[in-house]
Amino acid sequence: MKAKKVLLSGIGLLLACMMTIPTLHVYADSIPEPDDMFAEEHIDECELDVRVYRTKEETTAYVSPEDATVAFVLETQMEIGGDWSYKDGNGHQWLLVHYNQKTGWIPKAELEVKYDTISFEEEHKNELVQYSDDLFKNVDLSTVKDYRFWKYPGSEDCMEITDDDGFENFDIFSFFYTDQNGLRWGKVDYYRGRVNSWICLDNPNGDYEEISKGTKFAHEEYSPAETTNETGKSEKVKPNVDATFVYALVGAMVGFVVIVTAVILIVLKKKKSREEP
């Protein structure tokens, strides 16, 4: 009987361990939760923002878009990765960044964004097309190995080389682009942990020399992350401290002064009455 209980306990433990395997996979493949208090409290108003940015000048990061406490200061022309973005009540965009194991919020108006697939899509939006059988009738992705994932067509940055099995269909691609050399590209929004990348459908495992050398795009490496006025220039943005809180604080201070003044007057009056014959 005792042996049977031990056996059943062992089987139960084994099943419990097996059940955790898909759970771990799901967490590894999901969008990470923010590790910042303000982002956690406003997660429904935040958007994932994992682009690369650069400071224009010495830049202050604040505790939150609603708290003017300084979290840390970044040097001029310092590259830093984004995490989450948030738009405040005045329409200004804020970026959550990590630095020296701290989190801080920076107005995007004080940053430049590095050219990436989002920049590429904005620049070539009129050239991006949806899937059609005629366009890809001679492309067979099911037999291809060693895919190269690129930042964008023409980029020298290969994000990853993978030996995944071939794709059964074109469902993983959101849209397509044909470059100056006539090569067709597919945009991958998300696939097995890979985000915002491109595959050259005509040469999926070709290197840069084979598929993109000689391709020229007239773009700056960095561009303003946000312009906030009619002149196109960025304006200085400060945390939008809650006015209700400020008024309450001022009111409390005024009330405190009134009470202290009243107490002093009462004490002086009593003292005067004792001194009178």
Decide if pLDDT at 228 tops 80: no
Q: What is the pTM of this model?
A: 0.66
Angle, alpha carbons 156-160-161 (nearest 5°): 105
Close Cβ partners of 179 (under 8 Å, ≥ 6 residues apart): 153, 154, 185, 212, 215
CATH assignment of 37-115, among 2.30.30.40, 2.40.50.140, 3.90.75.20, 2.40.50.100: 2.30.30.40
Instruction: Tell how far CA 72 is from the center of its chain.
Output: 19
CA 82/CA 114 separation, integer angstroms: 11
d(CA 235, CA 18): 55
Percent helix / strand / coil, the chain, rounded to 5: 30, 30, 40
Across the range 270-277, mean pLDDT stands at 60
pLDDT bucket at 268, cuts 50 / 70 / 90:
low
Q: How far is CA 84 from CA 49, 103, 140, 154, in A?
A: 5, 11, 37, 27
Question: Does the pLDDT of residue 66 top 50, yes or no?
Answer: yes
Label residue 18 by pLDDT band (50, 70, 90).
very low
Phi, psi of 99 (to 5 degrees): -155, 125
* Rounded Cα gap, residues 211 and 7, in angstroms: 60
Please check the confidence at residue 219 and state whether its pLDDT lies above 90. no
276 vs 152: which has the higher pLDDT = 152
Query: What is the pLDDT of the chain when averaged over all its residues?
Result: 77
Rg (CA), the chain: 29
Res 27 pLDDT > 60: no
